[in-house]
Amino acid sequence: MDKLYDLMVMGFKQQMLCVQYPEEAVFVTLNHLQKIKALVLTAPVIEICDSTIKMIQDTYGRFSLGDMHQLRYILATFSPGLTLKP
């Protein structure tokens, strides 16, 4: 399972590095949620995906361009082996 997780993280980082505009980082996440919704056609999953999409749009809709740049940088440099101290 560790290899699968590492592969998923690498795929996500590759997508973050390929976005041309910082706003596309959020679009990648929204696209993933839409694909999950299309694959799993049970009502509870669809409701969870819809509420998550709404929360993402509400939260990141208020971000400035600088905030979006910082978000993309943090996601692209994420390392699952590191833990942050509070």
Q: Cα 29 vs. chain centroid, distance in angstroms? A: 4
* Greatest distance between any 2 Cα atoms in the chain: 39
Would you state the structure tokens that stand for residue 44, as one six-digit string?
A: 């509870």
The residues spanned by each domain of the chain are: 2-76
Q: How confident is the model at residue 83 (pLDDT cuts 50, 70, 90)?
A: low
Inter-residue contact 15 to 6 (CB < 8 Å): no
6, 10, 48, 59 from 3: Cα distances, Å: 5, 10, 28, 32
Spatial CB neighbours of 28, under 8 Å, sequence gap ≥ 6: 12, 15, 16, 19
- The predicted pLDDT at position 15 comes to 83
Mean pLDDT of 46-73: 91
Q: What is the pTM of this model?
A: 0.69
Report the mean per-residue pLDDT for the chain: 84
- The predicted pLDDT at position 81 comes to 64
